Chains A and B, each alone.
Chain A
């Protein structure tokens, strides 16, 4: 565009710009709506097929509607124990990992000490290692010590890959933390433990809760690492993997959607509460 053209365009500029802005506004919106449709499409498929009445071993073709998969969600041998094992591991692993991770986050944010950089790096390393390498290397450790594979090896693995996530989550909250509150408590005669219990802990509680939930979600969903160290124990993802080769009962979809509904309801509740709190403030 030459300067002459710009000069000529000047009077018409606003409506043109407005039209362009309007169009772009819409392009973005349309694109985003399509994006969300794409994200949710597989979930819709899983949900619909949880009501399917398949005739063969595989649940890939729609054959008719039934409630029975939901009513008899545990009718498939092994599926209930797999779900229970997954929940049990996720519960213990998320508590342990969040505990370890919170302590580490406190140390990393609060103190300048020798080896802080190295520690940060070691915490970061598992996050940048593909899961298959985590699983493979843990398996070689267990093999070399002839450790029997099962519940404990799964638990050890899950705590290991959850710790870094917990550290990162709690650290993010601690960084924006007002230290004066703690100093005030100490000035008023509280000892360190009381200060920690009454001031620090309540303030970082949301981050600890977030870390717990994140660890739980990661643990319950993990397949790759678990597959390497599970031995003959079967978690829910391992059950699905085994099923994918021989038969896919619709009950798999039922459990998948049930997890989904519980998680989304909890998160919706949280968003709703936050919005209300934001309005009140």
Chain B
């Protein structure tokens, strides 16, 4: 890096600039992860207190007892991510290539709904999907659900809620990568007799892949740990691992079990992210 800005003190300046922020992240992000592991290896009870004794059983119990919830978390998050991708891609494409001078306004429309608090948005879906609501009546009329059938309190409602709540995390990165594409490349493909569809498949889509990767990660990660949608729109049979962690931490005060589950959740997600990062290159992911 050629001429440093504070070049007289180059040796220590970056560290001084980094120190406050890194200390904050170190003490309140990295150290707590250590405590989470420490907590997850404890045993005991609320009444007599928990103590550390390398109790690996917590991990076994978490996997054995809550395998369904783990699987459901990744299934719902995966489905929601896929639907969000399929739904947002055409819109991101439309804004990027046909938005003209309305681009910024249209982007604003994508972000705007998310200025209404997450929980209120989810409660609104509870109203919309409720048993006497519009959606249920419509679906009953076209015989997609039987009379007296429900949408609320099903896995479908949970996936729908998750999809909606994380849409901008998918749409915005897609838009950014599509917007950066040099249009002359697509024109060149068409000049060379590629059909529109082929040009899209061979030129546009591959060039938008960084956006697809960023969007899927930004949607999948929070979705896999979510418990609000399952709590408000689902029923106990559609609960995800987040619901279990939340109730064990905040209601049952079973800290070791909850800590073990949190750690497993994080480890699985991190492994997936790193796999992805290896495939795409870390610099692209971390910016």
**Residue ranges of A at the interface with B (Cβ–Cβ < 8 Å):** 20-21, 24-25, 28-29, 31-32, 35-36, 38-43, 45-46, 49, 60-61, 100-101, 103-104, 106-108, 110-113, 116, 119-126, 128-134, 136-141, 143-144, 156-157, 159-160, 163-164, 167-168, 171-172, 179, 182-183, 192, 195-196, 200, 217, 220-221, 223-224, 227-228, 236-237, 240-241, 244, 248, 252-253, 256-257, 259-260, 263-264, 267-268, 271, 274-275
A residues in contact with B117, CB < 8 Å: 220-221, 223, 236-237, 240, 256, 259
Contacting residue for B232 out of A122, A244, A267, CB 8 A: A244
Whether the pair A46, B35 counts as a contact (CB closer than 8 A) is no
* B245 nearest CB neighbor, chain A only: A132
Asked if B265 is at the interface of the complex by the 8 Å CB criterion, the answer is yes
Tell me the chain B residues, 1-48 only, with Cβ under 8 Å from chain A: 1, 3-6, 8, 10, 13-15, 17-18, 20-22, 24-26, 28-33, 35-36, 38-39
Given contacts A192-B5, A221-B118, contact A138 B32 (CB under 8 A): yes
**Bound complex: CA A222 to CA B113 (Å):** 15
* A39 nearest CB neighbor, chain B only: B113
Whether the pair A42, B124 counts as a contact (CB closer than 8 A) is yes
A residues in contact with B132, CB < 8 Å: 61
Whether the pair A111, B115 counts as a contact (CB closer than 8 A) is no
Whether the pair B29, A45 counts as a contact (CB closer than 8 A) is no
* A128 nearest CB neighbor, chain B only: B273
What's the nearest-Cβ distance from chain A to residue B229, in Å?
Answer: 12
* B120 nearest CB neighbor, chain A only: A256
Whether the pair B119, A223 counts as a contact (CB closer than 8 A) is yes
Whether the pair B22, A132 counts as a contact (CB closer than 8 A) is no
Given contacts A124-B286, A223-B118, contact A119 B18 (CB under 8 A): yes
Interface residues of chain B: helix, strand, loop or mixed (majority): helix
Contacting residue for B217 out of A40, A100, A128, A156, CB 8 A: A128
**Bound complex: CA A100 to CA B19 (Å):** 9
A residues in contact with B151, CB < 8 Å: none
Whether the pair B24, A163 counts as a contact (CB closer than 8 A) is yes
Whether the pair A136, B36 counts as a contact (CB closer than 8 A) is yes
**Bound complex: CA A43 to CA B15 (Å):** 45
**Bound complex: CA A257 to CA B101 (Å):** 28
9 tightest CB-CB pairs across the interface, nearest first? A130-B225, A42-B124, A137-B32, A111-B14, A100-B21, A107-B17, A263-B115, A137-B36, A141-B32
Residues 210-240 of B, flagged 1 when their CB comes within 8 A of A and 0 if not, give 0000000100011011111000100000000
Tell me the chain B residues, 107-158 only, with Cβ under 8 Å from chain A: 108-121, 123-128, 130, 132
Contacting residue for A46 out of B28, B111, B116, CB 8 A: B116
**Residue ranges of B at the interface with A (Cβ–Cβ < 8 Å):** 1, 3-6, 8, 10, 13-15, 17-18, 20-22, 24-26, 28-33, 35-36, 38-39, 87-88, 90-91, 93-95, 98, 101, 104-105, 108-121, 123-128, 130, 132, 164, 167, 196, 217, 221-222, 224-228, 232, 242, 245-246, 249-250, 255, 258-259, 262-263, 265-266, 269-270, 273, 282, 285-287
**Bound complex: CA A252 to CA B126 (Å):** 15
Whether the pair A244, B286 counts as a contact (CB closer than 8 A) is no
Whether the pair A131, B225 counts as a contact (CB closer than 8 A) is yes
Whether the pair B18, A103 counts as a contact (CB closer than 8 A) is yes
**Bound complex: CA A122 to CA B262 (Å):** 19
B residues in contact with A132, CB < 8 Å: 225-227, 242, 245-246, 262, 265
Whether the pair A41, B128 counts as a contact (CB closer than 8 A) is yes
**Bound complex: CA A167 to CA B286 (Å):** 11
